[in-house]
Each structure stands twice: as structure tokens, then as C-alpha cells.
């Protein structure tokens, strides 16, 4: 049992004593001596709360505890840096493909770059030119050829002085026509080689040997050449200065 508060018990006891004294005084003054004295109701009423108070456990004031404050813990999460997407690896192939840009399909001929270099050097070292032939129309347009003293044959073969091997099939491989420079007369001449395709000089067919002058045009097949004279009546390499 829980102990009863001392102040409450003292008050109850004092009240009970006063009640008992009052009851005794009323008993002595009463006329009916044989009457059974009744238990003072006030005492019972006073004792009852005391008994209840004594039997009832004292209720302690429950003070709600201050809830503990849980400190906030900052959690730092390492965020991984973004990783660049790796492009898918190309499927490996054992074959290596090489693509050449800007080159035409080869015709199957194997050319030696050193031979070409020697030819260009030889062309630069040509001495004593007497004139030139320049393709002004048709396949190979813009190509020039150097003429020397004597006979210069015109054809598609590699041994021709004026090699017109640019795809014009109307030109024979050898000696379709020829240009001759006579150093003694200081004159040029054009002759045909007896081929089926006609050689034309300034639009007219060449049936025999014809004089050739500076600026004349020669047409064979689809190719037109312009003749440029360097030597002539005004100059020749054989003249003594």
C-alpha cells in the first residue's frame, strides 16, 4: 500500500474527534437512556473517505518526459561522376579495306613512277627544238609535243614523236602522219602515212606532202593539233652567229 498523506490524515482525525464529541454530548442530553446509541453517521462518513484514501494507492503525477531529440545525421552519399558512354566497338575484321578517293579506275597497266620521272626530266632536257604540236581539241586536250630537226611521226605508239594515245581509235598506232623540218630550206612539211583515215590540214585532206606554216591546224580522227613554229626563215639552230 501506498502511504497516506499526513495532512489529509490529520484533518480526517480532527474532524472525527469533533464529530464524536458532538455525538457524546447529544447522547448525554437525551431522555431515552435505554435507546441504543447509534453509531455516529458523521464518523462513518468521515472514516470512509479516509479508508478509501488509505486503501487507494496514491497516484503519482506522471510528468511526461521530454522526448529525447535525436540529432539529425547528415548522410553524405558519394554520387559517382557521370561516365561518358563508350561507343560500341566495331566488329573486328581480319580484312583491311583501303579506299582510294579521287582516282579513276585503273586500266590494268603498271606504271613505274621512276620511269615517269625520267621521262619528265628527259622532256625538260630536250635541246634545239624547232617547233611544237599542241592538242587543242579532242582527247588529250592541252598536251604539247616538241618537234626536232628531221621527221617527227604522229601516231598512238610509244615510239612516236607525237604520241596521241588518249583513246582516239581513229588514229593509227604508227606513222598516221608526219611533220618534217628541212633545216637547209628552213621550212616545215606535212605528209600522210597512207592510212584509211584522212589527215586534214586546215580542213582540207592531205593527199600529198604539203607545206606547213606557223598556226596551221592538223586534224586526225577526233583530235585537232595546232602547229607552232620556232625555227624558220627568221631563225635556225644551224645558222652561225
Number of other residues whose CB lies within 10 A of the CB of residue 89: 6
Length of the chain, in residues = 241
pLDDT at 214 over 90: yes
Q: What is the mean pLDDT of the chain?
A: 75
pLDDT at 109 over 70: no
pTM of the model: 0.49
* pLDDT value at residue 183: 93
* pLDDT value at residue 13: 76
Each domain of the chain, given as residue ranges in start order, spans 1-28+40-52, 126-229
Distance between CA atoms of 49 and 16, rounded to whole angstroms? Answer: 11
* pLDDT value at residue 18: 79
pLDDT digits 0-9 by tens, 189-207:
999 999 999 999 999 999 9
pLDDT digits 0-9 by tens, 111-170:
555 555 555 545 556 789 999 999 999 999 999 999 999 999 999 999 999 999 999 999
CB of 197 within 8 A of CB of 221?
yes
- pLDDT confidence of 94, banded at 50, 70, 90? low
CA 94 to chain centre: 25
**Which stretch of 101-110, 121-130, 224-233 has the lowest confidence by average pLDDT?**
101-110
Largest CA distance in the chain: 201
Distance between CA atoms of 104 and 64, rounded to whole angstroms? Answer: 99
Fold of 126-229: Tumour Suppressor Smad4 (2.60.200)
* pLDDT value at residue 46: 45
Q: Where is pLDDT greater, at 234 or 118? A: 234
Amino acid at each position: 500500500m501506498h502511504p497516506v498523506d499526513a495532512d489529509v490524515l490529520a484533518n480526517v482525525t480532527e474532524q472525527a474527534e469533533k464529530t464524536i464529541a458532538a455525538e457524546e454530548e447529544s447522547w448525554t442530553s437525551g431522555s431515552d437512556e435505554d435507546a441504543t446509541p447509534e453509531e455516529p453517521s458523521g464518523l462513518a462518513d468521515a472514516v470512509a473517505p479516509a479508508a478509501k484514501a488509505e486503501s487507494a494507492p496514491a497516484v503519482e503525477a506522471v510528468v511526461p518526459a521530454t522526448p529525447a531529440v535525436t540529432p539529425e545525421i547528415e548522410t553524405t552519399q558519394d554520387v559517382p561522376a557521370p561516365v561518358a558512354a563508350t561507343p560500341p566497338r566495331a566488329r573486328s575484321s581480319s580484312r583491311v579495306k583501303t579506299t582510294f578517293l579521287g582516282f579513276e579506275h585503273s586500266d590494268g597497266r603498271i606504271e613505274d613512277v621512276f620511269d615517269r620521272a625520267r621521262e619528265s626530266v628527259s622532256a625538260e632536257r630536250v635541246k634545239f627544238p624547232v617547233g611544237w604540236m599542241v592538242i587543242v581539241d579532242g582527247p588529250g586536250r592541252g598536251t604539247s609535243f616538241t618537234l626536232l630537226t628531221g621527221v617527227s611521226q604522229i601516231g598512238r605508239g610509244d615510239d612516236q614523236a607525237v604520241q596521241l594515245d588518249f583513246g582516239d581509235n581513229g588514229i593509227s598506232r604508227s606513222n598516221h602522219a608526219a611533220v618534217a623540218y628541212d633545216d637547209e630550206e628552213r621550212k616545215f612539211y606535212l605528209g600522210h602515212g597512207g592510212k584509211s583515215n584522212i589527215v586534214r590540214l586546215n580542213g582540207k585532206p592531205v593527199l600529198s606532202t604539203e607545206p606547213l606554216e606557223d598556226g596551221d591546224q592538223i586534224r586526225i580522227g577526233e583530235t585537232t593539233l595546232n602547229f607552232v613554229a620556232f625555227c624558220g626563215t627568221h631563225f635556225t639552230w644551224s645558222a652561225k652567229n
